[in-house]
Amino acid sequence: MHLPFQTYGSLLARYVRPHWGKVALLALLLFATIGVQLLNPQIVRRFLDAAQAGSPLATLLWLALLFLGAALLGYLLTLATTYLSEDVGWRTTNALRSDLAAHCLRLDMSFHHRYTSGALIERVDGDVGQLAHFFSQLVIQFFGNLLLIAGILLVLAWEDWRLGLGFLGFVLGALAILFRLRNFATPAIQANRAASADLFGFLAERLGGAEELRANGAVAYTIQRLFIRLRQLWQTASNAALRNALYGSLVSLWFELGAVLALALGAFLFLRETITIGVVYLLYTYLRMVNSPLTKLTLEMQHLQEASAGITRINELLSESSPLTDGSQTTLPRGPLAVAFDQVRFNYGQSAGSGDGAPVLDDFSLNLPAGRTLGLLGRTGSGKTTITRLLLRLYDPQAGTVCLGGIDLRHLALSTLRRHVSVVTQDVQLFNATVRDNLTFFDRTISDTAIEAALARVGLAGWLRTLPAGLATELSAGGGSLSAGEAQLLAFARVLLKDPGVVILDEASSRLDPLSERRLDQAVERLLHNRTALIIAHRLATVQKVDDILILEAGRIAEYGPRAQLAADPHSRFAQLLRTGLDFEETSA
């Protein structure tokens, strides 16, 4: 696999440019280190020739001290280089992680149905982690080591043209091996990253459903499937490691051959008294020293192969685009808003790029005036939740329009739409964060006074007083320390802080016991006051106080009208449900 060099360049320019000062300092440190590496063998060469010539002890002592000073300087430069490269590497990769996470969150729901959370984590963290060295010093190290090799070549050619010529042939042979095989391991590395992503996705899904797996005796089956993925990971990792090892071994073999030839050439020229013993040492040492830059070049090429695999997968992720283009209108009036669906047809398969499946909604039309509350009834799969997803514009319909406040959702900015429409589901998402952050979604502009007022309106003022640190109390992920009723009330408080014009309650009380549900009644009344509302329900008790009732069947309206009017009509389906006293799902079954 060959990745165009402009791809490398554009990624470097985007994420390294903000840190150009540190990168420039890093380059200076690396070049200074190269200078010290070239200097030390020259000091030893002078020491050997001086000793052979019978120079005074003071001269030898000064040369020894100079060698120690240069070695110490080299260690200090290496330490500073390591620190600075780590700093640049972490800053750049964290910026890329942030951009990738934001990109994923902006994509529509069909994308998230194609990728598991574990696979996305591996892309955002694992693939990006491969680029830390690429961002911080790959290019500098590459050209720096080439400069070191060029410096050694010039020094040896100055001593004797035959030394320079032999060294040049050795280096060209090594570089030919390096560049010829630079992409040798890339496909294997990419396959290994894909296997790792698959494993992460599998683990995330199975650990998330651990309770169901244990309850249904599926642990053994899950472990068996885990072994299959572990075997795939082991096979791809072994293949990648083998290819990397073969690549490095070829260069190492060339190094050892070069060392033998260097000693042979040095001995030949020394015996003919063409060069001194110090120059023989210089030749051997520089040839052994060039092993380091050539090995580093090998490593850089391996890093480049790893970076190529990572960049390819990252670019694949960044190339994902949402069919939901952002609208330009950024304002809507405050207060309740009218909701309208006009001849809407929607199919999840077509939204995901497939033509499979029958429409979930077909020729669906609805006009809900501002301030009215609508109860949505229907069997599972009838399209109730799909209506709310289209209203939140998590998807666009294949035909027809959805309007909010008389404006087509396609013309509204998504941020504006999400400010004016809020949803509360039966599964309240709580984060491992403070009560304040869980309610405000980390918006620091919302005051504590406003948060406390919202909690009081939903009946949680007493609960707040029991918390050891008030709004700064940490909640566990998933709200494990809260009852289901308290979690729902916190979700209501979130909505009150947002103050939207439209509220969607999607089975918000279906998992509550009767006592907790009665506790929520007052909170629901306050939540829905002076707002348009859509309430999805299976239980008739949930829609006792709504203004209108809509019964869905196979994506079409089976019955729609004012609740009181339908309840009074003995021939209506709603009235039949009320007479039987059964909930909708029970009668449908």
Residues 6 or more apart whose Cβ sits within 8 Å of residue 433: 442, 474, 475
Query: How does pLDDT run across 296-324, given as a tens digit for each residue?
Result: 766 666 667 667 777 788 888 888 888 88
Share of the chain above pLDDT 90, in %: 16
Phi, psi of 378 (to 5 degrees): 160, 160
3-state SS string for 468-516: CCHHHCECCHHHCCCCHHHHHHHHHHHHHHHCCCEEEEECCCCCCCHHH
Binning pLDDT at 50, 70 and 90, where does residue 583 land? low
What is the per-residue pLDDT for 426? 77
Amino acid at 124: V
Q: What is the pLDDT of residues 97-152, one digit of tens each?
A: 898 888 888 887 878 878 777 778 877 887 787 777 677 766 667 777 777 778 77
For 438-489, how does the pLDDT look when each residue is reduced to its tens digit (9 = 90+)? 899 888 889 999 999 999 988 888 888 998 888 999 887 766 667 877 888 8
Closest CA to 455 of 501, 509, 495: 495
* Per-residue model confidence (pLDDT) at position 580: 77
Report the mean per-residue pLDDT for the chain. 81
**Mean pLDDT calculated for residue range 408-430:** 88
Q: What distances in angstroms separate CA 478 from CA 332, 432, 444, 469, 493, one per listed residue?
A: 33, 8, 22, 19, 17
Q: Worst-scoring range by mean pLDDT, 43-47, 369-373, 512-516, 570-574? A: 512-516
pTM here is 0.64
- pLDDT band at 582; cut points 50, 70, 90: low
The answer to whether 331 touches 162, Cβ cutoff 8 Å, is no
* Residues 502 and 419: beta-carbon distance below 8 Å: no
Is the pLDDT reported for residue 544 higher than 50? yes
Which domains are assigned to the chain?
7-319 (1.20.1560.10), 339-588 (3.40.50.300)
DSSP class of residue 396 equals -
Q: Report the alpha-carbon distance of residue 488 to residue 509 in Å, rounded.
A: 8
Q: What is the mean pLDDT of residues 330-354?
A: 84
Residue that the structure tokens 């030919």 belong to: 176
User: Residue 373 forms beta bridges with which residues?
Assistant: 533
Token duo for residue 229: 């993925």
Nearest CA among 518, 523, 280, 500 for reference residue 392: 500
CA distance 527 to 515: 19
pLDDT recorded at residue 1 = 46
Q: Give tens-digit pLDDT for 323-338.
A: 888 888 888 888 999 9
Question: Within 13 Å, how many C-alpha atoms sit on residue 227's CB side?
Answer: 6
Average pLDDT estimate for 508-526: 67
| Pair type for strands 556-562 and 548-553 | antiparallel
Distance CA 373, CA 577 (A): 20
